[in-house]
């Protein structure tokens, strides 16, 4: 089978990946691939799948969990188009609200934005939408815009720049483009959220039977799927909803809901399980009808309505029990205590059956191990999926993995002495590492417990991630960290947080990573319910709900250190549990580490030999 490879040579591991993709297509099997950074997975997957797409009149969906990951797909497609003179039609999508031309749309929560847009469209109040259509179909202006686009491959930013110069709806323009597109780049929810998929496929004339779906960074898929099916309602939303209306019936309903909250929260310590019937109303349909009607009135004046959120929650709460957990929790928002009722999905496979049956899926990630877990959680049957694991392609001598079994953050062993020991060790290792170091902690609490001990011992400047930091603040912090690369500084961050995934610190920007403890989830109601549910489904509750997710966070954090063939660095696993076989088995098959209580010599030797 021909491939449309964009470069002159394939990399180590890349060829195997390409062959496995071709085999999967031939055998009509889905593929789950653990493909570490550096293999060149985007070029491999696109070049091997595109001939199949073109020859069989299929549509390729390239889905990512973050918008920033679209760029590499767009760039690779541009290279393929240039080298092989293909006539691909590509549409790059982001969330509708980020494409919208209405001022202020971007700040709305996603669910509310959809209602806002629907309201404007239904009431013929969106001029951009109105300009898209005439009574008999698309307007001449809209058709002309799309025709002029031709086969040019462009990122969504490039597309939006042009689209926003018109008086047309950019999202609808992109949708019009999809009718002839054979590649659609988007977010997971464009395909995995049933109502969004239905709307998108209907307008773009696509079918699951004709779709090949690539899921990038697929280790995020199970949790994203669960989030899509979950919902919650808090006392804060109820309070804000009440301020939106003077209507007696609406206020009566909100009071009724609040009274139910008051009954439920009796004897609430931190959180407790709740049954469906504990929060049931006799006339829920009528209540929802009245709330939705009032929400329409609110939205005629404002963009968002909290009343609508209450109505949505009441509807969803009526859903299934199997695969879900219901619980009440006490939490804080801006220093204010709030009570939140959660209806949380435990089973990511609930919406997968139709997609697995009808289309072809390739799920890939640098941390998709153990592959069996993803197969089980997502609902693939053994016989319909291939599981493939590829080796890390970077030179082994460029990284030094050290497991230091001197300390632990295990709950029963936490103490001031232990935090001091962790702080002392992490500080002295950071000083030995020549350049910038990130120290990852399992939680903000442990981070602050270790902080004083660390700074009193260490010589390097310490920068710190704070809980609830905004996007811009994070960018400023990261740039500050980069600026220290010559003298070396230390960034304190949390495993599983925004500095442990999706950031690139190549070359001298990062020379070492220290992972303190094990980032296990809090054993709260949700985690315990997941353990029970996965025990019931797969007899692997502890592994699938607790241990493997923690180890995936560890591997993600460790992965920040070596991002290219030239990168060299030290990765230290600072907890005694990493040396135990139960945890060690969770690392990828090609993982090699030295277990040592005397790491200083190893670190010095590593930097000396890499000078």
List residues near ligand SF4 by CB under 6 A: 96, 100-102, 105, 117, 120-121, 126, 128-129, 169, 171-172
For residues 379 and 496, give the distance between their C-alpha atoms in angstroms, rounded to a whole number: 25
Q: Are 372 and 543 in contact (CB under 8 A)?
A: no
For residues 19 and 400, give the distance between their C-alpha atoms in angstroms, rounded to a whole number: 31
Task: HSE, CB side, 13 Å, CA atoms: give it for residue 33.
Answer: 31
Nearest distance from residue 189's CB to ligand SF4, in Å? Answer: 16
Q: Which is nearer to ligand SF4, 177 or 226 (CB)?
A: 177
Residue count of the chain: 611
Q: Which is nearer to ligand SF4, 117 or 432 (CB)?
A: 117
Q: Which is nearer to ligand SF4, 179 or 457 (CB)?
A: 179
Q: Is the dihedral of CA 496, 499, 502, 507 positive or negative?
A: negative
Q: Which is nearer to ligand SF4, 125 or 473 (CB)?
A: 125
Nearest distance from residue 66's CB to ligand SF4, in Å? Answer: 21
Q: Which is nearer to ligand SF4, 100 or 185 (CB)?
A: 100
Nearest distance from residue 127's CB to ligand SF4, in Å? Answer: 8
Nearest C-alpha neighbor of 460 from the set 485, 488, 440: 488
Nearest distance from residue 117's CB to ligand SF4, in Å? Answer: 3
Cβ-in-10-Å burial (0-12, 13-18, 19+) of 357 comes to exposed
φ/ψ of 307, rounded to 5, equals: -60, -40
Cβ-in-10-Å burial (0-12, 13-18, 19+) of 198 comes to exposed
Q: Which is nearer to ligand SF4, 131 or 349 (CB)?
A: 131
Joined together, the tokens standing for residue 390 give 């590829």
Nearest distance from residue 116's CB to ligand SF4, in Å? Answer: 7
Whether the upstream peptide bond of residue 512 has omega within 30° of 0, thus cis, is no
Q: Which is nearer to ligand SF4, 130 or 318 (CB)?
A: 130
For residues 79 and 282, give the distance between their C-alpha atoms in angstroms, rounded to a whole number: 60
- Strand (E) or helix (H) holding 185: strand 183-187
Nearest distance from residue 166's CB to ligand SF4, in Å? Answer: 11
Nearest distance from residue 115's CB to ligand SF4, in Å? Answer: 11
Q: Which is nearer to ligand SF4, 142 or 572 (CB)?
A: 142
Nearest distance from residue 202's CB to ligand SF4, in Å? Answer: 16
Cβ-in-10-Å burial (0-12, 13-18, 19+) of 532 comes to middle
Q: Which is nearer to ligand SF4, 139 or 596 (CB)?
A: 139
Taking CA atoms, 267 is separated from 15, 270, 330, in Å, by 60, 9, 11
Q: Count the Cβ atoms, other than its own, within 10 Å of residue 44.
A: 28
Nearest distance from residue 176's CB to ligand SF4, in Å? Answer: 12
């Amino acid at each position: 089978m021909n491939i449309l490879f964009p470069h002159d040579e394939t990399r180590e591991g890349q060829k195997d990946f390409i062959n496995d993709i071709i085999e999967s297509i031939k055998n009509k099997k889905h593929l789950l691939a653990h493909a570490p950074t550096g293999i060149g997975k985007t070029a491999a997957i696109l070049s091997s799948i595109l001939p199949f797409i073109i020859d069989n009149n299929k549509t390729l969906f390239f889905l990512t969990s973050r918008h920033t990951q679209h760029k590499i797909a767009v760039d690779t497609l541009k290279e393929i188009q240039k080298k092989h003179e293909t006539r691909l039609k590509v549409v790059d999508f982001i969330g509708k609200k980020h494409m919208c031309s209405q001022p202020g749309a971007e700040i709305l929560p996603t669910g509310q934005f959809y209602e806002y847009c629907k309201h404007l469209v239904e009431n013929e109040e969106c001029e951009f939408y109105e300009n898209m259509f005439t009574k008999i179909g698309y307007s001449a202006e809209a058709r002309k815009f799309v025709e002029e686009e031709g086969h040019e491959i462009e990122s969504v930013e490039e597309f939006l720049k042009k689209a926003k110069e018109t008086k047309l709806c950019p999202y609808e323009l992109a949708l019009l483009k999809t009718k002839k597109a054979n590649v659609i780049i988007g977010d997971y929810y464009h395909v995995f959220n049933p109502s969004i998929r239905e709307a998108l496929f209907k307008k773009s004339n696509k079918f699951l039977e004709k779709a090949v779906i690539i899921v990038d960074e697929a280790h995020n898929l199970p949790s994203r799927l669960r989030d899509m099916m979950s919902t919650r309602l808090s006392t804060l939303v109820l309070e804000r909803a009440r301020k939106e209306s003077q209507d007696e019936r609406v206020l009566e309903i909100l009071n009724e809901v609040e009274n139910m909250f008051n009954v439920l929260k009796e004897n609430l310590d931190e959180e407790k399980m709740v049954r469906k019937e504990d929060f049931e109303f006799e006339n829920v349909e009528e209540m929802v009808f009245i709330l939705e009607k009032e929400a329409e009135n609110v939205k005629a004046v404002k963009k968002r309505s909290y009343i609508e959120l209450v109505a949505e929650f009441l509807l969803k709460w009526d859903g299934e029990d199997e695969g879900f957990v219901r619980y009440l929790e006490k939490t804080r928002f801006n220093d204010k205590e709030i009570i939140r009722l959660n209806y949380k999905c435990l089973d990511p496979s609930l919406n997968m059956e139709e997609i697995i049956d009808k289309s072809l899926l390739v799920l890939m990630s640098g941390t998709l191990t153990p592959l069996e877990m993803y197969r089980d959680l997502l609902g693939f049957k053994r016989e319909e999926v291939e599981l493939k694991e590829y080796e890390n392609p970077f030179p082994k001598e460029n990284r030094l993995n050290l497991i230091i079994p001197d300390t632990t953050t295990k709950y029963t062993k936490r103490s001031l002495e232990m935090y001091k020991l962790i702080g002392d060790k992490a500080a002295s290792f950071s000083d030995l590492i020549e350049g910038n170091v990130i120290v990852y902690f399992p939680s903000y609490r442990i981070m602050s417990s270790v902080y004083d001990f660390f700074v009193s011992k260490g010589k390097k400047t310490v920068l710190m991630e704070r809980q609830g930091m905004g996007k811009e603040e994070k960018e400023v912090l990261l740039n500050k960290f980069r600026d220290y690369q010559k003298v070396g500084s230390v960034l304190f961050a949390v495993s599983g947080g925004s500095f442990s995934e999706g950031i690139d610190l190549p070359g001298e920007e990062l020379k070492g990573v220290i992972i303190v403890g094990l980032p296990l989830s809090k054993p709260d109601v949700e985690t315990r319910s997941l353990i029970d549910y996965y025990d019931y489904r797969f007899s692997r509750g502890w592994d699938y709900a607790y241990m493997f997710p923690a180890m995936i966070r560890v591997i993600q954090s460790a992965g920040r250190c070596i991002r290219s063939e030239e990168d060299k660095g030290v990765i230290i696993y600072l907890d005694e549990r990493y040396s135990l076989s139960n945890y060690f088995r969770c690392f990828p098959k090609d993982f090699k580490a030295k277990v040592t209580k005397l790491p200083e010599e190893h670190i010095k030797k590593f930097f000396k030999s890499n000078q």
